[in-house]
Structure 1
Amino acid sequence: MMISKRSFCLSAAAGAFLLAAGSASAPAQTLRNVTFVQPSPSAINSFPVYVAMGEGYFKDEGINMRVESVNGSGAVIQAMASGQAQFGRPGPGPVLSARARGVDVVFLYNMMVKSSFGIVVKDGDSFKSPTDLKGKVIGVGTADGAEVSFARGVLSSLGMEEKRDYTFLTVGDGGMATAAFTRDDISAYAASTADAAILSHRGIKLRDITPVEFVTFFGNGFAVMQETIDKDPKLVEGFGRAVVRAQEFAVDPANREKVLAHLKAGMPQESEDKAFANALFEQVLAKTMRVDQSKGWGYQNPKDWEAWHVSLVETGSLKQPMPDLEKAYTNAFVEVWNK
């Protein structure tokens, strides 16, 4: 599987940052080329990576980071499994599905601590609850994305079965999703934080009808292959340490202009409207804030993983319970990242 040419990689931008940060009198540092792959071209949704590049945090860890974009979490995992990328940002549902197929991918860092997804409808429509969507078509961005697992879990908890009570339709995101709503091809959409912001910005006023108990289902985070953990733990330590520094930098309101500049360098089209980019960043940042302040950035609560696991089994996304759920994620590096 080749990584999508639709990617918005930052090789040139990263090189510029590295040159600017270098000193004429200091010896050149040998940097290791590392690739990070994300499930969409959005820089804002992967903001810690772009901020870490822009601020030189990866360079401090001996890493020359390159970003590639593909279409959905499934493709992210394929890129890592095939050796085309060392790190990625998939969702928990696709990670567990991949592990059930024998792919030894490990969720490394819980970035989107709060749910990145919701089931949204047009504000003027009569739907009040997901149960009102019986017999309706629900739009999704990709056929195997994390938003599909999330929406299926919500609907299953309400006794609804796919194809019997509702249908998923892959309509894409952004303008394509807007058009699907406008044409009434879909009655609802399984939306990420970014999707909802984009749809609203394009004139589709939305209302979230997701049950409150599903808000705590965490979203996409950083993942790696178990082989990388075993053979190159120092690389994993360096990656996570740079990401934590970037998160802390981004949280400080005094750094907002620098953060937005780094994100614009990564994906200029996303930041053409600065006000929208800032608003979207605020929404994404809020999803990353730690629920338990006593835990470090990236910490993963085993109870949250069990909730995802149960939901995926109940919906049929997993054919049977996994006997080794604890191998799907690790907190082994959280302490060293947060020192």
Structure 2
Amino acid sequence: MLNRRGFTTLIAGAMALGMTAPALAQDMTRVTVVQPSPSAINSFNVFVAIGEGYFADEGLDVTVEAINGSGAVLQALSAGQAQFGRPGPGPVLAARGRGVDAVFIYNFSARSNFGIVVPEDSPVQTPADLAGMVVGTGTADGAEVGFARNVMSGSGMTEGTDYTFLTVGDGGPAVAAFQQNAISAYSASTADAAILNQRGQAVRDITPSEYARFFGNGYITTGALIRDNPELVEKFVRAIYRGHAFALDDANRDAVLAHLAAGNPQESEDKEFAASLFEAVRSKTIPVDMANGLGYQPPEVWEEWQAVQIAGGDLAEPLPDLTEAYTNEFTLKVNGSAN
């Protein structure tokens, strides 16, 4: 299984799979998507959209790059190195507080894909039991940090006083951190928890159930691109929506797993594990309320995310206009829910 630290992968010429899309033409628009880890499974709708030719249908030639965490994703967009990315909502709000014009355009992980996990035999049963202990994270400024801070503050815990974070990485380094007693808990994504269990570090989730409403990583672009080229944004959202819908149909499971293996062969070497991980990740992308279709962002949860960022010190004060941090315009248009 791949580790995201220091890893960068480029997926180019995706249509070489011989799927239904036509050959790339000279007038295709080249776009780059950055994701916070090398996992194809965590971004499955993008890789399905590549493999099924949905991007090509929109005239888009897509390159996917994996970098280290949501913070790096936002930096890449801010520097003009990519047009789209998949960070978490907490880092997006923090970035907007620093003047970065990032805008959430598609809610992919509609249910929280993070949880605080502890070793299976740990006496810890609730976040409050972690008083005086160290909570590990994969990155220093990724979405998992904001989520864990939210959970801990909800239990009356203050970072630096009642507990501390320690950046340990994911995969093997996280297993080693547990084995060396460097951490007592870990803020894990669905994929992280599955990898820990696969590598012999059995863990269980102690996150209170009410935090499931805090959606996780989704797709963003810049406000400038929305203003200057809304047609491009709509094309991108339509393709990832089609990839998302295709992957949720059980009849397409084998095709989806093939696309994911093409996107990251090493991740799918253990086919049974890859299939199990895909099912776990996929389940987190189905909205609790489907009234507004796939990709919709509940405004009330954005309000809660902002409150969390303020309480944790990532935002000094409320944003001047929180609604500028996200838009449902493109999602509602492509998923047929727009009035």
Please report the TM-score for the alignment, with normalisation by the length of structure 2: 0.95
Aligned residue for 2:16? 16
Equivalent residue for 2:206, pick from 196, 206, 209? 209
Q: Does 1:57 align with 2:59?
A: no
Q: Does 1:248 align with 2:245?
A: yes
AA aligned to 1:266 is G
Structure 1 residue 59, shift from structure 2 partner: 0.1
AA aligned to 2:7 is R
Aligned residue for 2:318? 321
Aligned residue for 1:168? 165
- 1:1-339 to 2 correspondence within 5 Å? 6-12=7-13, 14-17=14-17, 21-22=21-22, 28=25, 30-339=27-336
Unaligned 5+ segments in structure 2 are: none
Structure 1 residue 69, shift from structure 2 partner: 0.7
Whole-Å separation in 2 of the counterparts to 1:251 and 1:20: 19
Structure 1 residue 22, shift from structure 2 partner: 3.3
Structure 1 residue 323, shift from structure 2 partner: 2.4
Structure 1 residue 291, shift from structure 2 partner: 1.8
Whole-Å separation in 1 of the counterparts to 2:169 and 2:6: 17
CA contact (8 A) 1:17 1:53 kept: no
Deviations 1:307-327 (A, max 9, x none): 111111112221112221111
Unaligned 5+ segments in structure 1 are: none
Deviations 1:90-132 (A, max 9, x none): 0000000000000010011000000011000001010010111
AA aligned to 1:22 is P
**Cα distance 1:144–1:62, how it changes in 2: closer, same or farther (>3 A)?**
same
CA contact (8 A) 1:271 1:277 kept: yes
**Partner of 1:44: helix, strand, or coil?**
coil
CA contact (8 A) 1:117 1:147 kept: yes
Whole-Å separation in 1 of the counterparts to 2:149 and 2:20: 47
Runs (4 or more) in structure 1 with deviation over 2 Å come to 17-23, 27-30
Whole-Å separation in 2 of the counterparts to 1:241 and 1:207: 37
**Cα distance 1:16–1:166, how it changes in 2: closer, same or farther (>3 A)?**
same
Higher mean alpha-carbon deviation, 94-103 vs 243-252, is at 243-252
Structure 1 residue 37, shift from structure 2 partner: 0.2
Whole-Å separation in 1 of the counterparts to 2:18 and 2:67: 25
Whole-Å separation in 2 of the counterparts to 1:133 and 1:122: 13
**Partner of 1:218: helix, strand, or coil?**
coil
Whole-Å separation in 1 of the counterparts to 2:8 and 2:18: 21
Deviations 1:53-99 (A, max 9, x none): 00000000000000001100010011011111000000000000000
**Partner of 2:213: helix, strand, or coil?**
coil
CA contact (8 A) 1:76 1:88 kept: yes
**Cα distance 1:157–1:15, how it changes in 2: closer, same or farther (>3 A)?**
same
AA aligned to 1:103 is V
Structure 1 residue 29, shift from structure 2 partner: 6.1
CA contact (8 A) 1:51 1:259 kept: yes
CA contact (8 A) 2:15 2:21 kept: no
Whole-Å separation in 2 of the counterparts to 1:155 and 1:133: 9
Q: CA RMSD of the aligned region, Å? A: 1.6
Whole-Å separation in 1 of the counterparts to 2:22 and 2:76: 31
Deviations 1:193-227 (A, max 9, x none): 11000001111111111111111110000000000
Whole-Å separation in 2 of the counterparts to 1:21 and 1:244: 17
